[in-house]
């Protein structure tokens, strides 16, 4: 019992499976401190947000005050590329990823839809989860670069990799961080004529692991966007430059249905509402769905994916849109014309 960081015993390998939020990061820190190998499969990355509660932190400390600051790695702290954005603080020649930005990344990464694995749907959320794990990986590499072993020699030969469960469908939280200090602990070493080859070997790269990132880039920046093109660009593509998006979280028919509903809503507002009350059967919406201020509220219990689609289409059509309700059963999307106060 007690916190991971206060665990007093020596050990050779640390293993954590779906350790909640910050608990995964303390496992990595304890292994780095002990010069021990690790197998860490993180979970509940949404709890890394500063405003989120974390059962591990509460149970070990009695409070919810975070002890780890995010992002953890220097590389992630200097992300931001060449784009100017109000959420990025400029320091010298670098643009710094703020804690607010990491909070949004953590929020998006809290993903658990097993049925979407290997499919385009929710690729952005899986990419966000992988980015959180990459921050962890880069943090461990950063620590290993300056690590000194107990006998005073450098540990620069140490290694850490990000891989996935096999099969991926074993869990939607299938990212695994592996790390080791001694080449004899390398899980990728292969046997040779004299036994195990002590050389530092790394796993073969799996191109399919890049698919989620490519789909996410297309979804966010347009079909003609690639990772290389985005890195070389001096400004993010504007909506006018990308006339077609890859709506990977819904079908084209679902998108067309929502657009049709919103177009009918706009049509209704352009008519005399008193007249429409006697003709409501000829349009999709009943007048009661639109309040006296011209705000349309979609039904509750539509699910997060459908609500996301409504927000997406409403934004593209230039409409105001926002969410209402705190509990999932009470959440809905409200839409109004930009001129509606």
Cα–Cα distance, 162 to 178 (Å, whole number): 6
pLDDT, position 248: 56
Q: Which of 296, 295, 293, 287 is nearest to 258 (CA)?
A: 296
How many other CB atoms sit within 10 Å of the CB of residue 231? 9
**pLDDT number for residue 206:** 76
Provide the greatest CA pair distance for the chain: 90
- Give the per-residue pLDDT at 27: 94
Ordered per-residue pLDDT tens for the chain, 341 residues: 678 888 889 999 999 999 888 899 999 999 999 999 999 999 889 888 888 776 666 666 666 677 888 999 988 888 754 334 444 444 444 446 788 888 888 988 887 778 888 887 788 888 899 999 999 999 999 887 765 443 444 444 458 889 989 888 888 889 999 998 877 777 877 666 555 555 556 667 777 778 888 877 776 666 555 555 444 444 444 444 443 444 556 778 888 999 999 999 998 888 755 555 555 444 455 545 788 888 999 999 888 888 989 998 998 899 999 989 888 788 999 999 987 44
pLDDT in the model for residue 55: 66
Q: How many helices and strands, by DSSP H and E, does the chain display?
A: 10, 11
d(CA 264, CA 283): 7
The tokens for 208 are: 């399919």
The three-state secondary structure class of 26 is: helix
Distance of CA 321 to the CA centre of its chain: 23
Token pair for 67: 């002890």
Cα separation, 238 vs 235, whole angstroms? 9
Give Cα 303 distance to the centre of its chain: 19
Q: Rounded to whole angstroms, how far apart are CA atoms 6 and 148? A: 21
Count CA atoms within 13 Å of residue 39 on its CB side. 10
Name the residue with tokens 């036994």.
195
What local confidence, expressed as pLDDT, does residue 205 receive? 75
For the chain, how far is it from start to end, CA to CA, in angstroms? 55
In the prediction, which pLDDT does 94 show? 46
* Ramachandran angles phi, psi of 141, nearest 5°: -60, -40
């Amino acid at each position: 019992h007690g916190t991971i960081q206060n665990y007093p015993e020596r050990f050779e390998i640390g293993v954590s499976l779906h350790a909640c939020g910050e608990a995964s990061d303390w496992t990595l820190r304890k292994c780095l401190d002990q010069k021990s190998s690790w197998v860490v499969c993180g979970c509940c990355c949404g709890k890394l947000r500063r405003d989120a509660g974390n059962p591990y932190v509460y149970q070990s400390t009695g409070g919810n005050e975070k002890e780890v600051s995010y992002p953890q790695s220097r590389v992630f702290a200097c992300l931001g590329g060449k784009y100017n954005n109000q959420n990025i603080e400029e320091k010298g020649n670098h643009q710094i990823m703020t804690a607010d930005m990491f909070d949004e990344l953590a929020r998006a990464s809290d993903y658990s839809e097993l049925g979407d694995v290997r499919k385009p749907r929710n690729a952005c959320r899986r990419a966000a989860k992988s980015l959180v794990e990459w921050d962890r990986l880069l943090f461990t590499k950063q620590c290993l670069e300056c690590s000194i072993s107990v006998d005073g020699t450098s540990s620069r030969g140490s290694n850490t990799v990000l891989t996935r469960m096999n099969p991926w469908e074993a869990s939607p939280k299938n990212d695994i961080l592996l790390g080791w200090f001694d080449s004899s602990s390398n899980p990728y070493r292969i046997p040779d004529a004299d036994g195990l080859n002590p050389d530092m070997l790394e796993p073969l790269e799996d191109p399919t692991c890049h698919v989620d990132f490519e789909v996410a880039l297309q979804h966010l920046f347009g079909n003609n966007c690639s990772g290389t093109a985005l890195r070389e660009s001096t400004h993010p593509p504007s909506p006018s430059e990308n006339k077609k998006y890859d709506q990977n979280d819904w079908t084209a028919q679902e998108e067309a249905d929502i657009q049709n509903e919103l177009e009918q809503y706009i049509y209704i507002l352009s008519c005399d509402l008193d007249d429409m009350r006697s003709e409501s059967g000829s349009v999709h919406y009943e007048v009661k769905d639109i309040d006296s201020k011209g705000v349309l509220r979609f039904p509750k219990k539509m699910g997060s994916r459908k609500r996301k689609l409504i927000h997406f289409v409403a934004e593209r059509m230039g409409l105001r849109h926002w969410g209402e309700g705190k509990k999932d059963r009470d959440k809905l999307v409200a839409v109004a014309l930009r001129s509606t106060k």
